[in-house]
Amino acid sequence: MKKKYLYITIIILCPLCFYAQPESFNVFYVKGTALLIEKSKKNVLIKGMMISSNNKLVIDEQTLVVLFNKKGLPALIEKKGTYSYNQLSVIFNQQVGNSLLYDFFRYVLTEFLGSEVERTRAATVVRGDTIPMVFPPDSAWFFNNKIEFSWKNSGSGNYFVIKCENNEVLKLYTNGSALTIFPFSSGLIRGKWYKWIVTDNNVTNGNSSYNNFYIPDENIIKNFKKEEIQILSYLPDRKNEEYYTCLIALYIKYHDFTNAYEQVREAKGHKFNTPAMQKLYLAVDKLYGMK
């Protein structure tokens, strides 16, 4: 009977242990120096790491760390110290409903954009025979398999030109004010910077003003997709402010202004107008040079 009793006890207790297993926290953002400690092993904390119940988090001075739990709720840790898993859990509970997103994305916008938001775009400067360019904004990155260009209508036919360094890659004559190209069918390759111009002259000169754009290489695309999947995984509700704020900030970070602007339009449709969202709207509007 004793063996039976032990056997039954194990069957009952094991499921309880399984369901009581605590969740892990995902490292979403790190600014400064922080360490993840597991037993005696120390690792520099980086985005994408998981913090479980047997870990400790060490935060240095002037360091900011943002974690997400499985419910998609964020926690901001910025005070120097060593934090156990239980202490991090308490921070999550304390920060629910506070102004975390506003504080966090104030840092994000400063880190990712800096003075870039305030800069004057080359497209607004018209020199020589250049037709003012509207889209894409200068220095945009493209992750999709098509690129849409637009410019102010001059009332006559124009030459649309793409160059890599000083070599013409593509030249088209058009009577319109917009054009869609499929880069890999047009001789463009990944990992290269290109410049484009619309002109009423067949030959561009030294006074011509170009806009630049970049087609990222496979490594950048891989990192971008990894971070995008991370956001989508930890923010299951895709119609709340956290979702749009994180996603728009990610697109700004990777200069993916097309998707950033689309997410802004969608977020505005849901009437998200908190201070954090307003800062992102303003950033995207300025980077685009449009409203």
Whole-angstrom CA distances from 131 to 12, 115, 156, 166 are 76, 27, 11, 19
Could you tell me which residues are beta bridge partners of residue 194?
213
Answer with the residue of higher pLDDT: 60 or 40.
Answer: 60
The candidate with the shortest Cα–Cα distance to 25, out of 61, 63, 57, is 57
The candidate with the shortest Cα–Cα distance to 105, out of 276, 268, 286, 236, is 276
Could you tell me which residues are beta bridge partners of residue 109?
none
Amino acid at 156: S
The candidate with the shortest Cα–Cα distance to 137, out of 113, 105, 169, is 113
Q: Tell me the per-residue pLDDT of 208-227, one tens digit each, with 9 for 90 and over.
A: 778 889 999 999 999 888 88
User: Does residue 192 surpass a pLDDT of 80?
Assistant: yes
The candidate with the shortest Cα–Cα distance to 138, out of 176, 201, 194, is 194
What's the pLDDT score for residue 211? 86
User: Does residue 280 surpass a pLDDT of 80?
Assistant: no
What's the pLDDT score for residue 9? 35
Q: Tell me the per-residue pLDDT of 108-155, one tens digit each, with 9 for 90 and over.
A: 555 554 444 333 333 333 344 568 888 888 888 898 888 999 998 877
Q: Which residues of 228-262 are buried (b: 16+ CB within 10 A; e: fewer)?
A: bebbeebbeeeeebbbbbbbbbbbbebbbbbbbbe
Q: Tell me the per-residue pLDDT of 2-15, one tens digit each, with 9 for 90 and over.
A: 444 434 333 333 33
- Measured in degrees and rounded to the nearest 5, phi and psi for residue 51 equal -110, 115
The candidate with the shortest Cα–Cα distance to 276, out of 244, 229, 235, is 244
Who contacts 16 (Cβ-Cβ below 8 Å, separation ≥6)? none
What's the pLDDT score for residue 236? 61
Domain spanning 125-215, CATH class: mainly beta
